[in-house]
Amino acid sequence: MSMVKVEEIEELLQEIEMLRMQLNRLTLSKGILDSEVIQVSQKLDELLNRYDSYRRVPFFSWMSFVGVKKAEWRIT
């Protein structure tokens, strides 16, 4: 499993939000069957699937996944 930085996840979330807003605008102006709407929807699906794969990692594995050392883990 490769390391994923918190900044990379934050960037992914920003891109997801940008595409979500773009998809909403396109859908309102062109309808759901327009080829551009479908392309943006498919790209958004890809990004959401990538984000979901990060979220499926168990907590302690995820902490390592994003580069947090065991000594830094704190359970509150």
Residue 72: pLDDT over 50: no
Given a contact cutoff of 8 angstroms between Cβ atoms, the answer to whether 44 and 16 are in contact is: yes
Mean predicted confidence (pLDDT) in 29-51: 96
Which region, left, alpha or beta, applies to residue 33 given φ > 0 means left and ψ of -120 to 50 means alpha?
alpha
What is the percent of the chain where pLDDT is above 70? 67
In this prediction, residue 7 carries a pLDDT of 82
Mean predicted confidence (pLDDT) in 35-49: 97
Mean predicted confidence (pLDDT) in 23-50: 96
What pTM did the predictor assign?
0.70
Domains annotated for the chain, with CATH where assigned, are 6-66 (4.10.280)
Name the pLDDT band for 75 (thresholds 50, 70, 90): very low
Q: Is 62 exposed, middle or buried (0-12, 13-18, 19+ CB in 10 A)?
A: middle
